């Protein structure tokens, strides 16, 4: 077994790998860029080596810098995590040439499977079902159009070296092929240093299901069941679960057998994932193989009891697999939510800044499990240079319903201040009837949450939030009157006024932590345990409740189960006056194009004096490794352009103005 392992990554996956290393008694080495000098993974490691400037292309992606860090520290092996150099055959080979073990598959397997074009050829040869499409890299957009016409729309243009939703575009027409071809090639070049793309048929209402495989250096390969990863946004996974609600035992066995056959065909000798696209009737086709540890590996670990990082390390050290296929039996259900630094109310654009307040649900084990994988702490900086992930929250239970309910409760306990994030959106997903039923597809978010970052308030939620807000306000009144219960602070009647002018009146009796509220539709007992630190904790109507609570005078900002509300609590005469107050209207920003997120200007498509049509491309902004096309929302003439290509822009910078 290795004595020292260098982790060639950052963030949550670096911390995840180090936890297993520490449990196995293996010393760890962290590498870090300038942006990560104070990152948790750096503090967690036994040794740490600086490897350059913040951009990944000048630090985490430079093979020679990783090799030099190994030489400086005497690291015997390197775990690449996911992303960065994890699927670079040249990196695996360079380590081998230097006498350092790569904790991953052999370079030949990476080269065969990491390239989506070659992997499709290999899958065909191994008898694996494949999606109709081109057999090689596209030489031109004309070739892409020819193949698209042959196989029929919609099609997907994909980067051969891609992953994580980057370098991928769905096209429903020739015009979209032309635009998607350029964008996919540009993203592929900037993210992977390889601009090759190919085209294949896009399966309508598809499901994304993948099989976890594990091989050793002695020819043994098994699979560790499947993961359903259909809940995606812009081809980026948002929720994952294991097992899949779609598969029956026969389909699961067939899919697993194909994944193992493909892995054996390329002498695969580590953890990897064979991804399939499946129709709603469970027909499935090979999509790609990821020759690395997946972001969503924790759900597999929770249903199988296997530490995949440990198995990767043992296999890399030359040990034969300790497991057979018969040992892999599913236990319960697991769900993973990816908590991202992005703004659901601005079309999920990236959000950067300092985490001024950060709290996650407590990790638990037992009948239900809560696990949090993260690489940040309170005070950490979310940078524009890297992936916007804050944490992965993973839950496990004896049934799917139990795992989902545990996740709903866990998401209610997330507190993040300083940036925008998708926690409330994840809570809304958990509560959605289609998700609860397992009726999934990769278009689920686009179909069900178009333009929405939260769920609509239900009558039950209004009553529950109103009760919590009234109890907190009544306690605050008592606090002002003197610490602890005080007769002078008793409030006999209060109204909860929502931002949409909905009003719930209640008579109030009780003190400090125990209240009885009488609403028009009946009484409600409220026990208030705590309303500090961004959370309201207590019991309402006998039910344990945790909800988000922030003081944003004159309102309380509240969130619960994917819903949110701004509530102003007042006495009835004041509530009557509030209803008469004029509403503020938002300023008209229609004559300006503002930068929707901090990012880099990749290209400008217009100049002062140009006439543009509705929907015409104006600029491309790159943020967190994704290119975002900004289009005109109306026809008009460009009055002035205020930025240049290559500029780094803060959010809401004026890019251009219309006449």
DSSP codes joined into one string, 608-647: TT-EE-TT-EEEEEEETTEEEEEE-SS-EEEEEE---TT-
Q: Tell which residue, 242, 239, 233, has the closest CA to residue 273.
A: 242
645 is catalytic: no
What is the distance between the alpha carbons of residues 241 and 303, in angstroms, rounded to a whole number? Answer: 10
Largest interatomic CA distance in the chain: 82
Q: Tell which residue, 319, 317, 392, 321, has the closest CA to residue 361.
A: 392
Element holding 516 (H helix, E strand): strand 514-519
Q: What is the DSSP letter of 96?
A: H
The pair of three-digit structure tokens given for residue 359, joined into one six-digit string: 């709290």
Distances (CA, A) of 512 to 467, 495, 516, 540, 658: 14, 18, 11, 15, 56
264 C-beta neighbours (distance < 10 Å), count = 15
Q: How far apart are the first and last CA of the chain?
A: 69
The pair of three-digit structure tokens given for residue 421, joined into one six-digit string: 């994030």
Phi, psi dihedral angles at 580 (to 5 degrees): -95, -5
What is the distance between the alpha carbons of residues 171 and 166, in angstroms, rounded to a whole number? Answer: 15
HSE of 570, CA atoms in CB hemisphere, 13 A: 17
Q: Tell which residue, 211, 231, 229, 230, has the closest CA to residue 221.
A: 211
What is the distance between the alpha carbons of residues 30 and 24, in angstroms, rounded to a whole number? Answer: 17
* 8 A C-beta contact, residue 60 and residue 33: yes
What is the distance between the alpha carbons of residues 391 and 339, in angstroms, rounded to a whole number? Answer: 5
What torsion do the CA atoms of 255, 260, 263, 265 make, to the nearest 10 degrees?
-100
382 C-beta neighbours (distance < 10 Å), count = 26
The pairing of strands 333-340 and 236-242 is antiparallel
The pair of three-digit structure tokens given for residue 408, joined into one six-digit string: 């709903």
Which of 288, 301, 311, 622 is labelled catalytic? 288
Q: List CB contacts of 167: < 8 A, sequence separation 6 or more.
A: 158, 159, 161, 184, 185, 187, 188, 191, 192, 197
* 8 A C-beta contact, residue 129 and residue 200: no
- Catalytically active residues, by annotation: 288
């Amino acid at each position: 077994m290795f004595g020292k392992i260098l982790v060639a990554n950052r963030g949550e996956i670096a911390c995840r790998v180090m936890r297993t290393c520490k449990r196995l008694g293996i010393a760890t080495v962290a590498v870090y860029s300038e942006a990560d000098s104070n990152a948790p993974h750096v503090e967690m490691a036994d040794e740490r080596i600086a490897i350059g400037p913040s951009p990944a292309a000048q630090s985490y992606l430079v093979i020679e810098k990783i090799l030099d860090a190994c030489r400086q520290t005497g690291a015997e092996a390197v775990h690449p995590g996911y992303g960065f150099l994890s699927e670079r055959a040249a990196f695996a080979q360079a380590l081998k040439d230097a006498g350092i073990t790569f904790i991953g598959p052999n370079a030949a397997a990476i080269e065969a499977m990491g390239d989506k074009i070659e992997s499709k050829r290999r899958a065909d040869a191994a008898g694996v079902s494949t999606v109709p499409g081109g057999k090689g890299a596209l030489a031109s957009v004309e070739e892409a159009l020819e193949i698209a016409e042959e196989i029929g729309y919609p099609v997907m243009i994909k980067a051969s070296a891609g992953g994580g939703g980057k370098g991928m575009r769905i096209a429903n027409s020739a015009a979209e092929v032309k635009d998607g071809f350029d964008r996919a090639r540009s993203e592929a070049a900037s993210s992977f240093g390889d601009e090759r793309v190919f085209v294949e048929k896009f399966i309508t209402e598809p499901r994304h299901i993948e099989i976890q495989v594990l091989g050793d250096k002695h020819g043994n390969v098994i699979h560790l069941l499947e993961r359903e990863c259909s809940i995606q946004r812009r081809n980026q996974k948002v929720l994952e679960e294991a097992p899949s609600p779609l598969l029956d035992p026969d389909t699961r066995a067939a899919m697993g057998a194909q994944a193992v056959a493909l892995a054996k065909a390329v002498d695969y000798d580590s953890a990897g994932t064979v991804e399939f696209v499946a129709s709603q009737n469970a027909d499935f086709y090979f999509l790609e193989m990821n020759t690395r540890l997946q972001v969503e590996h924790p759900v597999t670990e929770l249903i199988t009891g296997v530490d995949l990082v440990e198995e990767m390390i043992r296999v890399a050290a030359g040990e034969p697999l300790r497991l057979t296929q018969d040992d892999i039996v599913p236990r319960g259900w697991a769900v993973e939510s990816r908590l991202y630094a992005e703004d659901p109310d601005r079309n999920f654009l990236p959000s950067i800044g300092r985490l001024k307040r950060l709290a996650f649900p407590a990790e638990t084990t037992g009948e239900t499990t809560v696990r949090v994988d993260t690489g940040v702490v309170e005070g950490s900086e979310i940078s524009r240079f890297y992936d916007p992930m804050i944490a992965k929250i993973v839950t496990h239970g004896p049934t799917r319903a139990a795992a989902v309910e545990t996740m709903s409760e866990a998401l209610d306990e997330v507190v993040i201040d300083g940036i925008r994030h998708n926690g409330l959106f994840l809570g809304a997903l958990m509560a959605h009837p289609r998700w609860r039923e397992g009726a999934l597809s990769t278009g689920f978010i686009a179909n069900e949450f178009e333009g929405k970052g939260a769920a609509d308030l239900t009558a039950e939620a209004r009553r529950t939030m109103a009760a919590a807000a009234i109890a907190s306000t009544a306690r605050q009144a008592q606090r002002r009157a003197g610490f602890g219960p005080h007769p002078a602070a008793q409030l006999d009647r209060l109204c909860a006024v929502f931002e949409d002018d909905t009003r719930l009146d209640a008579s109030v009796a009780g003190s400090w932590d125990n209240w009885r509220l009488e609403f028009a539709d009946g009484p409600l007992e409220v026990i208030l345990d705590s309303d500090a630190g961004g959370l309201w904790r207590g019991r309402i109507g006998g039910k344990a409740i945790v909800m988000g609570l922030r003081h944003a005078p004159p309102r309380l900002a509240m969130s619960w189960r994917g819903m949110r509300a701004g509530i102003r609590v007042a006495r009835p005469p004041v509530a009557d006056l509030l209803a008469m107050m004029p509403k503020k209207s938002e300023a008209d920003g229609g004559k300006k194009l503002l930068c929707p997120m901090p990012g880099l200007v990749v290209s400008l498509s217009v100049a002062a004096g140009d006439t543009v049509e509705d929907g015409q491309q104006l600029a491309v902004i790159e943020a967190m490794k994704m290119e975002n096309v900004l289009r005109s929302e109306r026809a008009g003439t460009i009055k002035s352009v205020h930025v240049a290509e290559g500029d780094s822009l803060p959010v809401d910078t004026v890019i251009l103005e219309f006449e």
